[in-house]
Amino acid sequence: MSVPVLEAGGLEAAYRRKTVLSGINIAVRGGELAVLIGPNGSGKTTLLKTLGGLLPHSGGEVRLDGRKLYEYTRRERASRLAYLFQDSGSPWPFTVEECIAQGRFFRQGWFGGENAGDRHAVRQAIEEAGLSGFEERPVNELSGGEYQRVLIARAAAQEASCLLLDEPVANLDLTYQYRVMELLKTLTREKGRAILLSLHELSLAGLYADTIIVLDKGRIAAQGKPGHILTGELLHKVFALPASSQIMEALKY
């Protein structure tokens, strides 16, 4: 079994002296698509931000490529870890190519200037995201699904070994949900990236996840393969859903 790209052991986090995360133990490996699910307020966003070093942890540790997260400089961390926020805000009118190229800034010197490696990484990210022909389009003229793919392509252009994504398909229609998830699947299967993302759509989690991590009240309630996790018993316990055959039928993948 490969060494984890991102792992947390005994991770704890607090907000205004209130414990938000407790006893979190997870490991995400290269080529693995791990999906974080749980009710609203269970701590999914806090966990992703803590794993990404955007929020401090009060206990335990986070390791990235075998080293403690705090041992990296910001530039070093950016070469290994990409984070996509749930609310990306209103975009500036950069072109698609310019926006994706921003993922390469940390690799350039203080005075900027792209090289052949930067151009290749941007071109590859554009092709992988299915955005060829969109290069000169202003991103503020794109649909929500198209813009989301641009943001993922920007993260991919970083060539980071691990991607953290907070609700990347939120508010997208079914077509764009599928396209985004297929893109993430490609990044794991063909590029060997480790990806951890949060989802509300349990059917998508069952269809695409290699591993599902269930978070409830700041603790891990269960983790494992989709077929072992998405059961009527767990859905009833964590999401307060009736353990009915109709609900389980609707979640089949």
pLDDT tens-digit series, residues 115-167: 788 889 999 999 988 899 999 999 999 988 889 899 999 988 888 899 999 99
More confident residue, 220 or 74: 220
pLDDT range class, residue 8, cuts 50, 70, 90: very high
pTM (predicted TM-score): 0.89
Domain parsing of the chain, residue ranges: 4-80+161-250, 92-159
pLDDT recorded at residue 251: 61
Q: Options 3.90.79.10, 3.90.980.10, 3.30.70.520, 3.40.50.300; which CATH number does 4-80+161-250 get?
A: 3.40.50.300
pLDDT above 90: percentage of residues in the chain: 58
**Average predicted confidence (pLDDT) for the chain:** 88
Q: What is the pLDDT averaged over residues 182-189?
A: 93
Q: What is the 3-state secondary structure (H, E, C) of the chain?
A: CCCEEEEEEEEEEEECCEEEEEEEEEEEECCCEEEEECCCCCCHHHHHHHHCCCCCCCEEEEEECCEEHHHCCHHHHHCCEEEECCCCCCCCCCEHHHHHHHHHHHHCCCCCCCCHHHHHHHHHHHHHCCCCCCCCCEHHHCCHHHHHHHHHHHHHHCCCCEEEEECCCCCCCHHHHHHHHHHHHHHHHCCCCEEEEECCCHHHHHHHCCEEEEEECCEEEEEECHHHHCCHHHHHHHHCCCCCHHHHHHCCC
